[in-house]
Chains A and B, each alone.
Chain A
Amino acid sequence: MAKEYTLEQIASQVRRDIVRMVTKASSGHPGGSLSSTDILTWLFFKEMNVTPETWNRAGKNLDQFFLSAGHMTPVYYSVLARRGYFPVEELNTFRRFGTRLQGHPCVEKGLPGVNQAAGSLGQGLSVALGAALGKKLNGDPRRVFCLIGDGESEEGQIWEAALMAAHHQADNLVAITDWNHKQIDGDTEDVAGLGDLSEKWRAFGWETIVAAGHDFKAIEKAFADAREKGGKGKPVMLLFQTEMGHGVDFMAGTHKWHGKNPSPEQCEAAMAQLPETLGDF
């Protein structure tokens, strides 16, 4: 699939999936999903060494991914399905009773690709750090990736993990911030002034890279930089400048679509802006 379609085409389909999933479920979080679509598309289709068909949780000698911002399930599930972890048709069951595609990711339903439950924010980076140290202990040369939100970075546990990842020299850990500057109640700067996240992470002892998050050339370069900076004693933080709701004009750039589903008419309007490429679920 990755060979047949361009990243832009895959991302367009993922965005269609996101909007259709939350419309169908009459709930869910499209805003952050749309802002991190291009990052996760790159990660799962280009960057990570993974074997979706034979996925197992321990992931030895494979790259591992942890979603810390658990509400971003629409993009997470779409990318996993499109990458071949489970049937694309299963996206129809998002948030339905009995589904493996719970509102926030979980382990107990056994959805392939999901390593850890997330939803209560701030916990995933610590888990990813533990997994990264486990890989070192295992003599496993692969990396551990973790996606966090900028709003999520208001959680104290994120900074506990930041401190300890540097202390333990987890240079096989690559954290990614979806820096869309929005959270449920408004702009991050109005809710809880995060300031210069890049400076903060650097001060905590991390290598930091800031890049545009909706440009695959920039994303490619940022991940190449991360590879270059990794393995040298410091964890790496990639901060992608993104736009909440990116790709759908009436959702873009506002916090109002963080956790709101569109009406069927709004969904149609969104579909008109996002070409169907891989085939709808």
Chain B
Amino acid sequence: MKEYINTGNKDTRSGFGAGLAELGRTNPKVVALTADLKGSLKMDEFAAEHPERYFECGIAEANMIGMAAGLAIDGYIPFAGTFANFASARVYDQIRQSVCYSRTNVKIAASHAGVTLGEDGATHQTLEDLGMMRMLPEMVVLSPCDYNQTKAATLAAAAYEGPVYLRFGRPAVPNFTPADAPFEIGKAIQLEEGKDLTILATGHLVWEAILATQALEKQGLSVDLFNIATIKPLDEKAILQSAEKTGRVVCAEEHMIAGGLGEAVAGLLARKSRKPAQMRFVAVNDVFGQSGTPAELLKAYGLDADHIVAAATSF
């Protein structure tokens, strides 16, 4: 197994902020909007350097999505940022009609996703956004795993023509992907090659999956491990190949089982796999989150490395 070096814990939202700041300097068409969460989304640098391209929208998310669509129509590349729950559930119809159905080049920057938002509790811990966004025609759904990858995904989102939902989070987590790795939309990133089972992880749970794979290796299991940083479009070829090879697939995500990566993979295998595969879901099962530390919550909701190991050894 490869060595994964954590260059220091960092929050993925800061990766977004760094990507946005870089875009501000390199692409005059990039504009940024936020609904009173500039600091939380780490958009301060962009706002300070390009005040004319930064739009404070107040606590009025629906209008913000519409404004972003209008700016896109005029040729700009807007990043509209707020907490993931307010960037998805609260503005679902605006994203559906004004962004996706209208084919506007809007990037939704969705921070503080999942239970690792922590102490604010369930009102702010969206666990449904990937499902909602996956259902929308035209939408690309990105879920990078660490600071470096979130920065790269931000650059890739700007380069892509069309609506993008970019999901990231609040807590400082290990930063281990190469700083210079370009983000390829739609490509699963293979971390380990193995033959006994497949683990597909996304977002913060990629690091947990690496820890789990190390533990599984000690038990003599070889793992085909992937970082699924693009939820839609799924890398069907890579996932089918791996599932057909191992016949056992664990999906790990900070999301409900319903609508998430696991169901997307299950749907893919049901439709296209030429061999049967067993599946296990490391995800939240039809309950809301609650206040707590990220580590407490990952454990309580069955999302940490230990639970991935348990799922992987339950076939």
A is bound by B: yes
A130 nearest in chain B by CB position: B70
In the complex, what distance in Å separates the CA atom of A164 from the CA atom of B53? 16
Q: Do most interface residues of chain B lie in helix, strand or loop, or is the interface mixed?
A: helix
- Name the B residues within 8 Å of A212 (CB-CB): none
Q: Are A107 and B101 in contact (CB under 8 A)?
A: yes
- Name the A residues within 8 Å of B96 (CB-CB): 120
A-contacting residues, B67-96, CB 8 Å: 67-76, 78, 93-94, 96
Q: Are A119 and B97 in contact (CB under 8 A)?
A: yes
Given the interface pairs A106-B101, A118-B97, A168-B55, the reply to whether A133 lies near B71 with Cβ below 8 Å is: yes
- Name the A residues within 8 Å of B74 (CB-CB): 58-60, 130-131, 134-135, 137-138, 140
From B53, B60, B97, name the one whose CB has the most chain A CB atoms within 10 angstroms. Answer: B97
Instruction: Convert A129-167 into 0s and 1s, putting 1 for each residue whose CB lies closer than 8 angstroms to a CB of B.
Output: 111111101101000100000000000110011011001
In the complex, what distance in Å separates the CA atom of A127 from the CA atom of B65? 8
Given the interface pairs A107-B103, A115-B73, the reply to whether A164 lies near B60 with Cβ below 8 Å is: yes
Instruction: Convert B201-216 into 0s and 1s, putting 1 for each residue whose CB lies closer than 8 angstroms to a CB of A.
Output: 0000000000000000
Q: Are B75 and A60 in contact (CB under 8 A)?
A: yes
| Partner of A116 from B67, B71, B73 at Cβ < 8 Å | B73
Q: B31 within 8 Å of A by Cβ?
A: yes
How distant is A152 from chain B, measured CB to nearest CB, in Å? 13
Q: Are A134 and B70 in contact (CB under 8 A)?
A: yes
Q: A125 within 8 Å of B by Cβ?
A: yes
In the complex, what distance in Å separates the CA atom of A164 from the CA atom of B67? 10
Q: Are B62 and A108 in contact (CB under 8 A)?
A: no
Q: Are A116 and B98 in contact (CB under 8 A)?
A: yes
Q: A278 within 8 Å of B by Cβ?
A: no
Q: Are B103 and A130 in contact (CB under 8 A)?
A: no
Q: Are B103 and A108 in contact (CB under 8 A)?
A: yes
Given the interface pairs A123-B66, A134-B70, A161-B66, the reply to whether A108 lies near B101 with Cβ below 8 Å is: yes
Given the interface pairs A117-B102, A130-B70, A134-B74, the reply to whether A163 lies near B58 with Cβ below 8 Å is: yes
Q: Are A133 and B73 in contact (CB under 8 A)?
A: no
- Name the B residues within 8 Å of A134 (CB-CB): 70-71, 73-76
In the complex, what distance in Å separates the CA atom of A163 from the CA atom of B70? 17
In the complex, what distance in Å separates the CA atom of A118 from the CA atom of B52? 28
Q: A96 within 8 Å of B by Cβ?
A: no
Chain B residues packing against A (C-beta within 8 Å): 31, 52-53, 55, 57-58, 60, 62-76, 78, 93-94, 96-98, 101-104
